[in-house]
Protein backbone atom coordinates (compact mmCIF):
# COMPACT_ATOMS: atom_id res chain seq x y z
CA UNK A 1 0.00 0.00 0.00
CA UNK A 2 2.93 2.36 0.60
CA UNK A 3 4.02 1.95 -3.05
CA UNK A 4 0.62 3.13 -4.25
CA UNK A 5 0.59 6.04 -1.81
CA UNK A 6 3.66 7.51 -3.51
CA UNK A 7 1.90 7.51 -6.89
CA UNK A 8 -1.31 9.20 -5.74
CA UNK A 9 -1.47 12.99 -5.91
CA UNK A 10 -2.42 14.55 -2.54
CA UNK A 11 -5.60 16.28 -3.74
CA UNK A 12 -6.93 13.08 -5.28
CA UNK A 13 -6.07 10.96 -2.25
CA UNK A 14 -7.70 13.29 0.27
CA UNK A 15 -10.88 11.88 1.86
CA UNK A 16 -12.91 15.00 1.07
CA UNK A 17 -12.06 14.81 -2.65
CA UNK A 18 -13.26 11.23 -3.01
CA UNK A 19 -16.09 11.20 -0.48
CA UNK A 20 -15.42 7.67 0.79
CA UNK A 21 -15.75 7.09 4.55
CA UNK A 22 -13.13 4.37 5.07
CA UNK A 23 -9.51 4.12 4.01
CA UNK A 24 -10.02 0.88 2.06
CA UNK A 25 -12.96 2.32 0.13
CA UNK A 26 -10.95 5.46 -0.58
CA UNK A 27 -8.05 3.46 -1.96
CA UNK A 28 -10.41 1.31 -4.00
CA UNK A 29 -11.87 4.43 -5.65
CA UNK A 30 -8.38 5.81 -6.33
CA UNK A 31 -7.23 2.52 -7.85
CA UNK A 32 -10.42 2.39 -9.92
CA UNK A 33 -9.72 5.93 -11.17
CA UNK A 34 -6.13 5.13 -12.17
CA UNK A 35 -7.09 1.85 -13.83
CA UNK A 36 -9.60 3.72 -16.01
CA UNK A 37 -6.90 6.02 -17.43
CA UNK A 38 -5.73 5.25 -21.00
CA UNK A 39 -2.65 3.09 -21.29
CA UNK A 40 0.09 3.12 -23.88
CA UNK A 41 1.56 5.94 -25.96
CA UNK A 42 -0.47 9.04 -26.64
CA UNK A 43 -2.10 9.24 -30.07
CA UNK A 44 -0.29 11.30 -32.69
CA UNK A 45 -1.39 14.90 -32.93
CA UNK A 46 -3.41 15.78 -35.98
CA UNK A 47 -1.63 18.33 -38.12
CA UNK A 48 -3.57 21.57 -38.44
CA UNK A 49 -5.12 22.89 -41.61
CA UNK A 50 -2.38 25.49 -42.02
CA UNK A 51 -0.19 24.88 -45.08
CA UNK A 52 2.89 25.82 -43.05
CA UNK A 53 2.06 23.23 -40.38
CA UNK A 54 1.64 20.55 -43.04
CA UNK A 55 4.92 21.60 -44.72
CA UNK A 56 6.74 21.48 -41.37
CA UNK A 57 5.28 18.07 -40.56
CA UNK A 58 6.24 16.73 -43.98
CA UNK A 59 9.83 17.99 -44.26
CA UNK A 60 11.10 18.80 -40.74
CA UNK A 61 9.42 16.49 -38.21
CA UNK A 62 9.90 12.79 -37.78
CA UNK A 63 11.91 10.31 -39.79
CA UNK A 64 11.13 11.99 -43.14
CA UNK A 65 13.25 15.08 -42.46
CA UNK A 66 15.20 16.07 -45.57
CA UNK A 67 17.05 18.87 -47.31
CA UNK A 68 14.19 19.53 -49.73
CA UNK A 69 13.23 22.86 -48.06
CA UNK A 70 16.66 24.24 -48.98
CA UNK A 71 16.04 23.34 -52.61
CA UNK A 72 12.59 24.94 -52.39
CA UNK A 73 14.12 28.19 -51.08
CA UNK A 74 16.74 28.19 -53.85
CA UNK A 75 14.06 27.57 -56.47
CA UNK A 76 11.83 30.28 -55.01
CA UNK A 77 14.65 32.81 -55.01
CA UNK A 78 15.50 31.90 -58.60
CA UNK A 79 11.88 32.40 -59.71
CA UNK A 80 11.61 35.69 -57.80
CA UNK A 81 14.88 36.98 -59.30
CA UNK A 82 13.91 35.87 -62.80
CA UNK A 83 10.53 37.60 -62.49
CA UNK A 84 12.10 40.86 -61.33
CA UNK A 85 14.75 40.70 -64.08
CA UNK A 86 12.12 40.00 -66.74
CA UNK A 87 9.96 42.92 -65.62
CA UNK A 88 12.98 45.25 -65.64
CA UNK A 89 13.80 44.04 -69.13
CA UNK A 90 10.27 44.83 -70.30
CA UNK A 91 10.46 48.30 -68.78
CA UNK A 92 13.77 48.89 -70.59
CA UNK A 93 12.26 48.03 -73.98
CA UNK A 94 9.09 49.98 -73.32
CA UNK A 95 10.87 53.35 -73.45
Q: Is residue 66 part of a domain?
A: yes
Strand, coil or helix: 5 = helix
Looking at residues 15-32, what average pLDDT do you find? 70
Q: Is residue 80 part of a domain?
A: yes
- The pLDDT tens digits of the residues spanning 37-82 come to 888 888 777 656 788 888 888 888 878 788 899 999 999 999 999 9
CB-CB contact of 50 with 56 (8 Å): no
Of 38, 36, 8, 41, the closest CA to residue 23 belongs to 8
What is the pLDDT at residue 40? 85
Judged against a pLDDT cut of 90, whether residue 29 lies above it is answered with: no
Range of the domain at 81: 51-94
Judged against a pLDDT cut of 60, whether residue 15 lies above it is answered with: no
30: number of Cβ within 10 Å: 20
27: number of Cβ within 10 Å: 17
What is the pLDDT at residue 79? 97
Q: Is residue 44 part of a domain?
A: no
Residue 62 and residue 31 in one domain = no
What is the pLDDT at residue 14? 58
Judged against a pLDDT cut of 70, whether residue 16 lies above it is answered with: no
Amino acid sequence: MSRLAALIPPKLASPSAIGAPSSAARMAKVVEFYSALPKGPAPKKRVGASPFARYKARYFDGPNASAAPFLHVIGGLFLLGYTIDYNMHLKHHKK
